Amino acid sequence: MARALINVPAKAKRGDIIEIKALMSHPMETGYRTGPDGALVPRDIINRFICTYNGEEIFSADLFPAIAANPFFSFTTIAMESGRIAFRWIDDRGQAHLETAEIAVE
Amino acid sequence: MSRKPRPVGTSRREILAAGAGALALIVARPARATPESMADAIKAFVGEAEVREGRVTLELPALVENGNSVPLTVKVDSPMTAQDHVKRIAVFNERNPQPNVALFYLNPRAGRALVSTRIRLGDSQNIVAIAQLSDGTFWSDKAELIVTLPACVES
């Protein structure tokens, strides 16, 4: 897995609802597509996405081949305290990619 | 003059060969989800519970030019408090190779039940979103859309 783009506000007021966006570069190979040789290209997708806020899960998703390539998610959370928002993508091979963002809550 | 012209059309042998080739192409196509398999997938998610229409808003473009990346937003009318919140949102399709699209897990820390993503569509079809609330009830919304260039048709 390669590059991820995440969008978390650097600062927020306590109690504010903030929007979080995460995009991961990944082909999300469905396993239903044929390659140039006519054979099916084996399935290779990110099947799980988890977002935690200071270690506590705030959002997660089980993904299927019907999710577009370079999976994108946007969701919300309440800014509780300053700390770290962590993102984890897990693919069919069990490989995980981790990204984090810091947020200052005042 | 006396020579018998060769038939202009295709020979029987060629037609048979072409027919066999076309049949092989049809057979090689992966099985598609159907409204029935979507119903099965929904049953696996909700069990015996009743699914009511309402509270969920599924936003999708009505006309999609490219099925490879279609923006999808699901909103649920919920206060997202510890007593009353959305636990899970599942999205289903009728005509992709498989009926599941995604399953989102939410909790009161979301503040709002609002999720967006981008999906693939292999054909014009109905999409269904079902939300499971903390009180155990299920609510749904449906959207019908037309896809002019479906995903998965070309390699």
In CATH, what is the architecture of B32-149? Sandwich (2.60)
- Residue A40 with chain B: CB contacts under 8 Å: 30
The 10s digit of each residue's pLDDT in B53-89 is: 999 999 999 998 888 999 999 999 999 999 999 999 9
A31 within a domain of the structure (yes/no): no
Query: What CATH number has the domain bearing residue A21?
Result: 2.60.40.10
A96 within a domain of the structure (yes/no): yes
The reported pLDDT for the residue numbered A52 is 96
Using CA atoms, how far residue B13 sits from B20, B22, B26, B27, B69, in Å, is: 11, 14, 20, 21, 43
The 10s digit of each residue's pLDDT in B25-42 is: 444 455 677 788 888 899
pTM (two decimals): 0.84
Which DSSP string corresponds to chain A? ---EEEE--SEE-TT-EEEEEEEE----B-S--B-TTSSBPPPB-EEEEEEEETTEEEEEEEE-TTBPSS-EEEEEEE--SSEEEEEEEEETTS-EEEEEEEEEE-
Query: For chain A, what is the domain count?
Result: 1
Q: Which one has a higher pLDDT value, A43 or B9? A: A43
Plot region of A28 (φ>0 → left; ψ -120 to 50 → alpha; else → beta) = left
Closest chain A C-alpha to B113 CA, distance in angstroms: 8
The 10s digit of each residue's pLDDT in A2-16 is: 789 999 999 999 999
In chain B, the percentage of residues whose pLDDT exceeds 70 is 77
Closest chain B C-alpha to A101 CA, distance in angstroms: 17
Structure-token pair, residue B83: 């007593």
Q: What's the domain range around A14?
A: 4-26+43-105
Structure-token pair, residue B145: 């859309």
Residue of A nearest to B72 (CA): A73
The partner residue sitting opposite B114, judged by closest CB among A66, A69, A75, is: A75
A33 within a domain of the structure (yes/no): no
A35 within a domain of the structure (yes/no): no
